[in-house]
Structure 1
Amino acid sequence: MSDLTIERIEAIPFAIPYRKPLRFASGEVRTAEHVLVRVHTAGGLLGQAEAPPRPYTYGETQASIVAVVEQLFAPAMVGTSVLDREEHRARLGRTVGNPTAKAALDMAAWDVAGQVLGQPVHRLLGGYAASMRVAHMLGFDDPEVMVEEASRVRERHGITTFKVKVGRRPYQLDVAVVRALREAFGEDIELYVDGNRGWTASESARALAEMADLGLTLAEELNPADDVLGRRWLVERCPVPFVADESATNPAEVTREILGGSATAVSVKTARTGFSESQRVLHLAEGLGVEVVVGNQIDGQVGTLCSVTFGAAHATTTRRAGELSNFLDMSDDLLAEPLQITDGRLAARTVPGTGAVLDEDKLTRYRQDR
């Protein structure tokens, strides 16, 4: 037994309210009901990551993540080394689905590996940079409210890239929001849209036509990928990269969506593919010649720290702003040293591992299993 040997795994449910509901086409979130995954080694080291369930996207719930980790995944990993990533992938892969549970276990194991080697994980993954530009996600609301939020985030944190949630009916509601943002800030900000599959292909095409003068840089999941012919028809007419997110959650799905003409860019989310599988997705995207964006699973600070750790490590993921700010919408969080977005950038931690050190009093306050 050594510092690398996994001795015990915990799945701790916790709940932290958001300051206000986050609304988008596929659902609404009022409370971050997430799971903290902890990997303990025989040498006393601790690796940590966050699993954010999204039942309307992946079918996982807080309770299901705890159950699958405790009943299936922990028994499969205990006794192995944190470096046995391919063995973990094979063992966990016998159970279908459960992407965020698998991702959190992978990232927690990487956290331990960094501590053993005395290196920050962002350097082990690639070490390209130590920080990323930040994009902020704006959920459904009235135009004046969304403009006010964008103004506040820009003033306080220096963020100038905004992802606007769209997909409402009638679509003119969202067109009015995007236009209000452009009129309020001019060319000083970058805007892109995410429909969460809320529109049809024809609604999406009309909305894009009405926003043609607003300088959008990306369009994400405007209509369902299951509308196979409609999606291809829309992507052929889309004037900006069309991002696959929910429709491309693993390398096989990325290949299908890109080669099938249903997308021209990919969202990489460490919350659903960890570090190891995210590298597979990233390298596949590079090989196919498509752009990537580091997406957000409405992560808390632990999850966001993992996102910037991965995004900063690779040249391709640093080309665009990463969606790294929605922890700002939470009323509290778990990190002992909170994340700080300064001048529109978020830094990865430079300590060994990912740097996910928790405030244990806060974990005690918000955990749901005691």
Structure 2
Amino acid sequence: MKITAVEAIPYAIPYRKPLRFASGEVSTAEHVLVRVHTDDGVVGIADAPPRPFTYGETQRSVVAAVTELFAPQVVGTRLVEREQVDARMSRTVGNPAAKSAVDMAIWDALGRTVGLPVTELLGGFTDRMRVSHMLGFDSPEAMVTEAQRVRQTYGIGTFKVKVGRNPYRLDVAVVRALREHLGDDVELYVDGNRGWSAADSARAMREMADLGLLFAEELCPADDVLGRHWLVQQCDVPFIADESAVTPADAVRELLAGSATALSIKTARTGFTRSARVHHLAESLGVESVMGNQIDSQLGTVCTVAFGAAFRLTAARAGELSNFLDMSDDLLTEPLQIREGVLTVRPGPGLGVEIDPDKLQRYRSDR
């Protein structure tokens, strides 16, 4: 059960169309596949999606961090020494996606070694999650059309709507159009990616008060400490901390400062080990949690649903599990299938998925 090697393989797969939001735009999945090898011949896998406009990581920096910093610290440890691994990687500041991929690949290797799914190792609450689909920037008509297509094709009934442009002439109109065309039985919530001011956010939320929104997420910058606190205190729906809560300590500060009343958990930035800490924090404080999406690949989505399904709190809400649908291809041997708005945990030990070697050869960008 000892780790003998850690690989970081960069690859690039184009999206069918760019995904646009207030803090950036993504047109190609320039990710890093991380593989952890053990002396038993087991290989655990995970995906690192760099997001330079959010966390400062790039594909090259993830590869460097994993191979030059984390691999030497991890090789020689046992798969069950996850806290030791976390402590060693914590010596390096930042690099959340790189750290998380190493952590999740170790969990996958452990599950494969003992013959149990990661979901059961984490908590085993259920084997499925409802799916929320994220709608990127476009015209109101195009976003309505996209939502209707996704609902009809995949049975998805929850939508996270990207806002953060012009709140009065465009964003509010988008959300209102979605509610009018999709009906009251669909769940809607908004994510500003810090694109509005606190004052604009408050006005926009008042104008959308009749639309039955589920949540509001990161509407204004967390750096605007007083404005953010003022906004959250008058917000009548749970206010989700996402990119302002990169670490468990960040989540504590946001909640105790009154700058958020709910949390987004992203395994792509806190792995399984630290995501469990964020979950336990949310559970003990009685705040809502949702499983977020870092524009994940199918492998990243597998990790998200594996964690989200493991706990009652995170399984209670629809998870953001569908943005892999916008990728032109993927690396898994068996593609994920969303049916009737639900994504199930893959059966089998570990994460229950395998990488197609031909596709990896085709898309890897280090050769």
Question: For this structure pair, what is the TM-score category when the shorter chain's length is used for normalisation?
Answer: over 0.9
Q: Which residue, out of 350, 354, 357, partners 2:351? A: 354
The question of whether the paired residues in 1 share the 8 Å contact of 2:167 and 2:196 is answered with no
SS at match of 1:299: coil
- Hey, what does 2:289 align to over in structure 1? 292
The question of whether the paired residues in 2 share the 8 Å contact of 1:172 and 1:207 is answered with no
Deviations 1:161-207 (A, max 9, x none): 00000000254311010011011011121100000000000000111
Counterpart amino acid of residue 251 in structure 1: P
Indicate yes or no: 2:363 matched with 1:369. no
Indicate yes or no: 2:30 matched with 1:12. no
- Hey, what does 1:200 align to over in structure 2? 197
The question of whether the paired residues in 1 share the 8 Å contact of 2:205 and 2:235 is answered with yes
Q: Once structures 1 and 2 are overlaid, which stretch shifts more, 277-286 or 170-179? A: 170-179
- Hey, what does 2:121 align to over in structure 1? 124
Deviations 1:66-118 (A, max 9, x none): 00111010000011111111110111010000001000001000001101111
- Hey, what does 1:245 align to over in structure 2? 242
- Hey, what does 1:236 align to over in structure 2? 233
Residues of 2 paired with 1:223 and 1:173: CA distance? 17
- Hey, what does 1:60 align to over in structure 2? 57
Q: TM-score, length-normalised on structure 1? A: 0.98
Residues of 2 paired with 1:138 and 1:213: CA distance? 20
Indicate yes or no: 2:83 matched with 1:86. yes
Counterpart amino acid of residue 87 in structure 1: Q
Counterpart amino acid of residue 338 in structure 1: P
Indicate yes or no: 2:156 matched with 1:162. no
Residues of 1 paired with 2:335 and 2:51: CA distance? 24
Q: TM-score, length-normalised on structure 2? A: 0.99
Residues of 2 paired with 1:164 and 1:260: CA distance? 26
Q: Which segments of 5 or more consecutive residues in structure 1 lack a partner in the other structure?
A: none
Residues of 2 paired with 1:170 and 1:300: CA distance? 30
The question of whether the paired residues in 2 share the 8 Å contact of 1:49 and 1:105 is answered with yes
Residues of 2 paired with 1:145 and 1:332: CA distance? 23
SS at match of 1:249: coil
- Hey, what does 1:339 align to over in structure 2? 336
- Hey, what does 2:269 align to over in structure 1? 272
Residues of 2 paired with 1:186 and 1:100: CA distance? 37
- CA shift, 1:287, in A, is 1.1
Question: Map of 1:211-226 to 2, 5 A cutoff?
Answer: 211-226=208-223
The question of whether the paired residues in 2 share the 8 Å contact of 1:18 and 1:329 is answered with yes
- Hey, what does 1:28 align to over in structure 2? 25
Indicate yes or no: 2:34 matched with 1:37. yes
The question of whether the paired residues in 2 share the 8 Å contact of 1:9 and 1:38 is answered with yes
CA RMSD of aligned residues (A): 0.7
Question: Map of 1:133-152 to 2, 5 A cutoff?
Answer: 133-152=130-149
- Hey, what does 1:50 align to over in structure 2? 47
